[in-house]
Amino acid sequence: MRLYKVSLLFIILSFANVCVPSFLDLKKKKDDNNMLLLALALSQGSGWVWNLPPGFPVPTVPSENPMSQAKVDLGRFLFYDKKLSADESMSCSSCHFQRLAFSDGKATPSGITAEAHPRNAQHLSNAAYHPRLTWSNSLLKTLEQQARVPMFSVAPPELGLANDDYLGKLKSNSTYQKLFSAAFGNGDSAVTEQNVRFALASFQRTMISGYSPYDKATNGNRSAMSASATRGASVFNGEVAECFHCHGGFNFTDTTLHTKQTSEEFAYHNNGTHNNAFYDALPLNKQGLKEVTLVASDQGKFRAPSLRNVGLTFPYMHDGSIMCDDSANPDHPTGIASGATLETCARNALGKVIDQYTTGGAGTPKHTSIDTTLIRPFSLQPSEKADLINFLLALTDSEFVNDSKFSSPF
């Protein structure tokens, strides 16, 4: 258990003990009820205690949706419940698998129709710290807002909700009656679209990953990371490869917000995944930040993804265009035949990512909106490349992907 919760039962019991010496006295019973309400309020609001990995800052939580264990519990059910899709065929978890740090292993997923999403499904480790959500939608600032997209989007549909039928299904379910009452107060009026999104956001804020070999080594257990991975950290943080400029900090991205920051930090970069000609041939919704700003030089710009659990989040890049060879892919017949694993695939695909960086980006000529002070050709010795890959693989947090707090409650 990594996240400490103030147990509602514990608070209620302690209040009951302190406040109600005699259970026979009716007036005292009323006091007791008041105490229970107070305890409920406490547990819904400021009573939340984060039990964060060492060195992790406290996430910023929107004031209108304070953390509570009851919301987290409800959000976990909703995240895994297919009642949240129009035809009850999909849930959030259909594109966000815990074993892959809540990514899905596909280049681009489809929702309830066959139409593919224009972008790759992101992992959700430490999403609590992103002041901008998704690959390139600079308008989505909170998890509460972002949840609207998979629930209601039409181009393409993801969960495809088009009316309030799903709320009716939740209202008539006795488990949800209890969960919504505990989280948002009694009655059908608690079962609203907003409260669904608020609970989903609260659950996702608990998805914190900070116990990888890298973290253990950083916090004193040097042997948790191999010598090669330790050398790889120097490559990553060096001025030749420049990785840390965009993937720096505790969350391995330059887009962060937490309570120790005075303001949010966010940036969009073109890291050279494709050149101008490639994007020019695509519809606007595949051109990155330009889709939102309509500024030509925002073509090909994306939020630098957090590299936490990057050993599990292939295919890489916004369009999943960098993937391992079939022979390294455990989901491909030739990969199965050759005994491929998640690690063989990640090693192979990360090698391709690094090759893209050492050549200063894909395609010729290179994209004109690349920041060439950071993305330009450089060379690494084969041993340095191997070290860098081992470092990236040391960001995989096996406790996170196996933690039963985040698994399906069904």
Per-residue contact track with ligand HEC, 64 to 83, x per CB under 6 A? --------------------
3-state SS of the chain? CCCCCCCHHHHHHHHHHHHCCCCCCHHHHHHHHHHHHHHHHHHHCCCCCCCCCCCCCCECCCCCCCCCHHHHHHHHHHHHCHHHCCCCCCCHHHCCEHHHCCECCCCCCECCCCCECCCCCCCCCCHHHCCCCCCCCCCCCCHHHHCHHHHHCECCECCCCCCCHHHHHHHCCHHHHHHHHHHHCCCHHHCCHHHHHHHHHHHHHCCCCCCCHHHHHHCCCHHHCCHHHHHHHHHHCCCCCCHHHHHCCCCCCCCECECCCCCCECCEECCCCCCHHHHHCCCHHHCECHHHHCCHHHCCEEECCCCCCHHHCCCECCCCCECCCHHHCCCCHHHHHCCCCHHHHHHHHHHHHHHHHHCCCCCCCCCCCCCCCCCCCCCCCHHHHHHHHHHHHCCCCHHHHHCHHHCCCC
> Which of 147/179 has CB closer to ligand HEC?
147
Complex with ligand HEC: residue 33 or 261, whichever CB lies closer: 261
Query: Toward ligand HEC, which CB reaches closer, 35 or 127?
Result: 127
Closest CB to ligand HEC among residues 217, 389: 389
Q: How far is the CB of 314 from ligand HEC (least distance, A)?
A: 7
Site for ligand HEC in 16-55 (CB under 6 A): none
Q: 10 Å Cβ neighbour count for 258?
A: 19
> Quick check: 160 binds ligand HEC (CB under 6 A)?
no
Distance CA 188, CA 153 (A): 25
* Nearest to ligand HEC of 39, 387 (CB atom): 387
Stretch that binds ligand HEC, among 56-64, 170-178, 235-243, 276-284 (CB under 6 A): 235-243
Q: Choose, by CB under 6 A, the member of 43, 60, 94, 251 that binds ligand HEC.
A: 94
Distance of CA 102 to CAs 157, 259, 345, 401, Å? Answer: 19, 25, 17, 8
Choose the stretch contacting ligand HEC; rule: CB under 6 A; options: 51-59, 163-171, 361-369, 371-379.
Answer: 371-379
Given 8, 86, 147, 257, the residue binding ligand HEC (CB under 6 A) = 147
Q: Does 243 bind ligand HEC (CB under 6 A)?
A: yes
Site string for ligand HEC, 173-212 (x = CB under 6 A): ---------------------------x---x--------
- Both tokens of 21, joined, read 């010496």
232 in contact with ligand HEC (CB under 6 A): no
User: Residue 146 or 390: which CB sits closer to ligand HEC?
Assistant: 146
Cβ proximity to ligand HEC, 325 vs 371, nearer residue: 371
Q: How many residues belong to the site for ligand HEC (CB under 6 A)? A: 54
Q: Which is nearer to ligand HEC, 69 or 142 (CB)?
A: 142
Among 271, 275, 299, 329, contact with ligand HEC (rule: CB under 6 A): 271
| Contact pattern from residue 301 through residue 340 relative to ligand HEC, giving x for each residue in contact according to CB under 6 A and a dash for the rest | -x-xx-x--x--x--xxx----------------------
Cis peptide leading into 377, omega within 30 of 0?
Answer: no
Q: How far is the CB of 31 from ligand HEC (least distance, A)?
A: 40
Interface contacts to ligand HEC, rule CB under 6 A: 84, 90, 92, 94-96, 109, 111, 117, 119-122, 124, 127, 130, 133-135, 137, 143, 146-147, 150-151, 158-159, 200, 204, 241-243, 245-247, 269, 271, 273, 302, 304-305, 307, 310, 313, 316-318, 350, 353-354, 357, 371, 374-375
